[in-house]
Structure 1
């Protein structure tokens, strides 16, 4: 940030190296890609926004309440979720005065110094809303009111922001039993090729998930299949995958706790499945079932061409009290160590050499980049590496990722950047960070005479745009 005459602005060379030679190269590379369209092939924005195109209500509902990055930090400092407008399952009181919530955020904005959230939010304030002052408790009401006035205009409706942010593709993520009514409403609007869905089957393949039995019943109703027989269950999943593909989906997403895979016989699968359905499976058997389902899903991806994303390595809902009171996605997921080489062996033994299969691996365990993931992706035709994700979606995390992955897997066994966000207005901010960091990394290689400038310019374009587009099977073609 720079301050002149009390202005608060984003420095044009932010995130570039302090080395003047590298900074000059970074700037030139960045200027060549900064205006490229955004490909956002994996995220969690609400498709209702784009289907209905209503004005956003207020700054708090848009920028604070949906963003677990924000209230995770505030909760860590003893600020209750109720005071931030997060509603509990039991219907007990939570704050409904959005200005009051905003003032709590502003009073504690200093907590975010040095975090990615601070960079994203400052970008939103400066670039999206045009503020030249830093948010604090004294100006909180002014900023709140000014944002709300902007949100009430047509220029800040969701579809207008898609154009303003130059978003060529935005993928949302829905569970296997979702009706996709909002995506259906987009059909014929011209936006159905811009806003697409992603198939996330966790709710019907993870027997430990909340409402698993109810979800299975819904799956049977939606597909007309006997979901209580092994083959009927698999047919139902194929049915839903086709339904999602008809609403634009090019990818699946799997948030299993581990990347364990299995390749059981048909008889063993049937027997295990019946124990799952009866609720008699042990925790070990439930994990084995999830592992078998990753292999089954890989086979289905080979059949229908959908890209398979695997997001393991998270102890989800670690704070049991928060989960029971408020539900999932409340900022209490914690990274855990993850093993890939042995866990993926059954799946890779069966499908790893299939060049038509695309599996994108993510991790929160950075030690795995050099030791396991880069060597795996640097060998198996079906594997690509997803970008630095979640807790590692930061300038430092992105740099570590490039340093640890590139020497073994290269650039072209990666798939560019995806923002994985619920916070719509942060999408251009996140992509801007990724482009700046990639340009910084490339600039170092050029400055050290390890890469030509022409190669760096080509790579900057590919990392910012083409690899994401092609990594999700040319999702716009």
Structure 2
């Protein structure tokens, strides 16, 4: 009987010898290395409460915008998938019905990384080798559901099972960090860490920006109507986040633009924002200046700065109004990193305590901008292929275009950027297989020795992320 493609031991390895044989030999040494997941969006309540997942749909379907967007593209309503509405209107509450709809349409995911991740999770966690479909929906649902209440399927046990050494969640500046406080009481901080994402108080395009800034001042005891007070509020908040294990900040911005304005202009810009008199150009300038300010604070406290540029977010106004952000309607756009980061790098790009990880959606910049920049600036590293590109083909395009100019050691390794817990080991396995694929090809072409490839495979699969994020 032919083995299913998603279970084949040579999946993602080179098609021809000897590269395939070399990749196959490299893989066992990295397959079971600890997972370092220093950037992600899993729910911290999972680890704080360590409770049962409600249903297979809650585990695989509703938290995963990669899955949701594909189903929506074929006209399937989010109501029928059980995605909550802001107005409290009715949506499907039966997880089995939502799961059946997912299974009936699972063929839509052929060729996508989502299918790779779901197949891997079903097999690795539940021992399910058969393909998800309308015919197998109930059988697979029951097999998963019967085990969700067992101790080995609780969130912390899942981290143990897949040897997750470190995982970071991401919280906004105004977040009370309730779940991380609970984990601190359980002595679980360190394995699960927070990340400081200040977009709620640095992005004037947000409707609640004025109220958010006022709350920010109240939370920190700073006068945020003054520029120095605003920056000191961030300084205090970053310190609080570090108490709960944060080693990094995260900045989701539509462009990579930065600015370095004189104080009088910064204050005038802040006055405009607080008065609600700012326009789109002012919002862009404020974000640009705040990126430079965050870099200067990173010079002070050593927190690693992640810049996620180039996503045009919430492009479906109806979906955003009905249900909120992060549900699949974000689309990549072109990004200028050389011009955009010029002001920031001119101000502090040579500071030894600064580290910036550039996350990229515009693949045209890999070889033209990002690799040459990371290959020169000591403060810059290239983040892993991200969002639309953390796929087998995306990883191949990434490595092929950045390594020759940036080298291997200016890469930040891999992180999974996921909201779906069980996809974490699946995504890391794809990365590790693709690293072996890439290195095996280079060894076969006599561009690397086998010993060097073995060292690089381990580095890129594990140590590079720890080094990039300064995780001891």
* TM-score (norm. length: structure 2): 0.98
Pairwise CA distance, 1:232: 1.1
Inter-partner Cα distance in structure 2 for 1:210 and 1:42: 26
2:355 pairs with 353, 358, 367, which one? Answer: 358
Pairwise CA distance, 1:326: 1.1
Q: Deviations over 1:428-476 (max 9, x none)?
A: 0000000000110001110000100000000001000111001001x2x
Task: Map residues 15-54 of structure 1 onto 2, 5 A cutoff.
Answer: 15-54=12-51
Q: Deviations over 1:229-277 (max 9, x none)?
A: 2111111111100000011000000001001000001111111110111
1:276 pairs with 273, 278, 286, which one? Answer: 273
Inter-partner Cα distance in structure 2 for 1:272 and 1:193: 38
Residue 289 (1) aligns with residue 279 (2)? no
Q: Where does structure 1 differ by over 4 angstroms across 4 or more consecutive aligned residues?
A: none
Task: Indicate the residue corresponding to 1:238 in structure 2.
Answer: 235
Task: Map residues 172-191 of structure 1 onto 2, 5 A cutoff.
Answer: 172-191=169-188
Inter-partner Cα distance in structure 2 for 1:14 and 1:206: 43
Pairwise CA distance, 1:31: 0.7
* SS state at 1:341 partner: helix
Residue 410 (1) aligns with residue 407 (2)? yes
Q: Deviations over 1:365-415 (max 9, x none)?
A: 101001111111110010000011100111001000001000110011111
Residue 117 (1) aligns with residue 114 (2)? yes
Inter-partner Cα distance in structure 1 for 2:28 and 2:350: 39
Residue 131 (1) aligns with residue 124 (2)? no
Pairwise CA distance, 1:36: 0.4
Answer whether contact 1:225 1:232 (CA < 8 A) is retained.
Answer: yes
CA RMSD of aligned residues (A): 1.1
Structure 2 gaps of 5+ residues are: none
What number of residue pairs does the alignment pair up?
A: 472
Task: Map residues 167-246 of structure 1 onto 2, 5 A cutoff.
Answer: 167-246=164-243
Residue 64 (1) aligns with residue 61 (2)? yes
Pairwise CA distance, 1:309: 0.3
Inter-partner Cα distance in structure 1 for 2:208 and 2:92: 28
Pairwise CA distance, 1:171: 0.3
Task: Indicate the residue corresponding to 2:140 in structure 1.
Answer: 143
Answer whether contact 1:8 1:134 (CA < 8 A) is retained.
Answer: no
* SS state at 1:122 partner: helix
Task: Indicate the residue corresponding to 2:372 in structure 1.
Answer: 375
Pairwise CA distance, 1:8: 8.0
Structure 1 gaps of 5+ residues are: none
Task: Indicate the residue corresponding to 2:333 in structure 1.
Answer: 336
* SS state at 1:111 partner: helix
More displaced, 259-268 or 229-238?
229-238
* SS state at 1:104 partner: helix
Inter-partner Cα distance in structure 1 for 2:222 and 2:378: 34
Residue 254 (1) aligns with residue 251 (2)? yes
* SS state at 1:311 partner: strand
